[in-house]
Amino acid sequence: MGKSIPIHIDRRTNVPLYSQIAQALTEYIQSGRLAPGEKLPAIRSLARALQVNTVTVVKAYQELERAGLAVSRAGSGTYVAPRDQASAFLSATEPELDLLDRGQVEIPPGAINFASATPDPDLLPVATVQRLINRVIERDGGQVFAYEESRGYLPLREKVAEVLAAIGIHTEPTSIQVLSGGQQGIDVVAKSLLKPGDVVLVEAPTYPGALAAFRSRGARIVSVPLGEDGPDLLALKEILKRSKPCFFYLMPAFQNPTGAVYSRQKKEELLNLAAHFGLTLLEDDYLSELSFADVDLTPLAALAPPEVPVLYLKSFSKVFLPGFRLAFLAVPPLLRREILAAKHTSDIFTSGLFQRVFDLFLREGIWEEQLARIRSLYAERYHTMVQALQKELPAQVTFIPPRGGLNFWLRLPGNLDAALLYREALRAGVVISPGALFLPTPGPSSYFRLTYASLGPEEIRRGAALLGNACRRVLGERCPGEYTPLV
């Protein structure tokens, strides 16, 4: 018989009870408290303990099986799956999907690419950058191409500290680490703080690049369910009671992929929990500039009490030049040495030329001009996206318009797997990102992400129309204009 497992379920939320049970068991499996081959509690016993219907437990176990985390044995019960089974799920069902978010899947010519988060090249300040590059080379000569300090170009770090102070994050230039992109920032933190077997917390769903970085360190990834206003703090509290995570990776502003924004109340409650349990936070601010509504985007790092370590990661790729690979990490003093060592072993230093150019961007007000231009152009595309999706998609396909950012998070009805829509849309000439890409544990998902970063208004409208028809075919409906012969 399976051992007794304490599971907390919240009947006040909109999260189905079976999903809450499946999530709790997933965390037990990921943390190692339920070992491969170990038997799960009998369905009737667990239903009785939780005061739910047996069908609810059956559905929870089915979720685990679909995710490759459990196996059912007729007449014997349900057991935790072998360790290699879950990792094989995604590649076995859709081998190209795990490469899609990294830009390694060949996109058919002429396809509308709702999966790419790469900014439209026409929006990038190429001419301005060319002018500033010439100025920097004339000013600094060969020093531009010499070895740079691993921590980063000092004048730039000083300016970044000023910029952060304006949003409430007070730090010294010595605590600013310049990075070669946001992905390196995540990887550097993983190298600094994680060793094999350590627990790291993530939102569910979350950014696949972060999952890859944490897995590369042999970490055990435990997910915290994410709602419209932030993480499920009851679930987080239960996790913190039974484990000691190294840190919690989160995106409070226009979260990728959901577009969610943490409420001020949720931020404050989260910081209280972090203070109580000694939890370190890795706050990824990759796109807070693109706000299209009146919303509080105060960073956690600006609200955190001194006893809560917050590593604040800021990337500029989506509104500057992706090829520059520039990001910054505000590091708590106790972690400076580890972060600097990890950066040095990664690539020694970030391009001195690019750092000096961006320093001029900040100091001469060009950055604010670029932001104003980008906001205006993306606002038009954002509103076009909302209108096109509302017009073209079947009513059963639902979404909540985000309040900013570049991502829309949509859901198919019932338990339809978005991987089916991915294939149907691809045949129609549209590329989407199925929700399975963003799950900490492999498995099917009825969600999918659309990104309009690289698309103009007309492409958005045409892509939405094609996607709408693909959705109808997946739902078994007739598409407008289709001929159905009488038999």
Structural domain includes residue 78: yes
């094989």: which residue's tokens?
88
The reply to whether 189 falls in a domain is: yes
In whole angstroms, give the CA distance from residue 99 to residue 425: 17
Domain's final residue, options 313, 329, 364: 364
Kindly write down the DSSP assignment for every residue of 342-379, as one continuous string.
HHHHHHSS--HHHHHHHHHHHHTTHHHHHHHHHHHHHH
Asked if 47 and 36 count as a contact pair (C-beta separation under 8 A), the reply is no
CATH number (domain holding residue 83): 1.10.10.10
- Note the pLDDT of residue 232: 96
**Percent of the chain that is helix, strand, coil (3-state, to 5):** 45, 15, 40
202 and 145 co-located in one domain: yes
Confidence of residue 477 (pLDDT cuts 50, 70, 90): confident
Q: Do 154 and 184 share a domain, yes or no?
A: yes
Same domain, 112 and 67: no
357 and 443 share one domain:
no
Predicted confidence (pLDDT) per residue in 368-417, tens digit: 888 898 899 999 999 999 999 999 999 999 999 999 999 999 999 988 99
- Domain residues for the domain of 431 are 90-117+369-475
Residues 195 and 237 reside in one and the same domain: yes
Q: Strands 176-179 and 199-204, how do they pair?
A: unpaired
Position 261 in a domain: yes
- Do 193 and 342 belong to one domain? yes
Domain endpoint, select from 72, 87, 102: 87
3-state secondary structure of 268: helix
| Domain shared by 358 and 465, yes or no | no
Tell which of 332, 364, 396 closes a domain. Answer: 364
Tell me, yes or no, whether 11 lies in a domain.
Answer: no
Same domain, 422 and 395: yes
**pLDDT tens, 175-217?**
999 999 999 999 999 999 999 999 999 999 999 999 999 999 9
Q: Is residue 75 part of a domain?
A: yes
CATH number at residue 103: 3.90.1150.10
Domain count, the chain: 3
- 7 belongs to a structural domain: no
Torsion 429-321-449-438 (CA) sign = positive
pLDDT value at residue 316: 80
- Given a contact cutoff of 8 angstroms between Cβ atoms, the answer to whether 406 and 114 are in contact is no
Q: Are residues 38 and 166 in the same domain?
A: no
Distances in Å between the Cα of 344 and the Cα atoms of 209, 235, 354, 450 are: 21, 37, 18, 36
Q: Are residues 308 and 379 in the same domain?
A: no
Does residue 211 sit in the same domain as residue 312? yes
Q: Are residues 414 and 308 in the same domain?
A: no
56-97 pLDDT per residue, tens: 999 888 878 876 788 887 778 898 887 544 444 444 345 455
- Say if 5 falls within a structural domain: no
The answer to the question of residue 6 being in a domain is no
Taking only the tens place, the pLDDT of each residue in 242-251 is: 999 999 999 9
Report the number of secondary-structure helices (H) and strands (E) in the chain.
18, 16
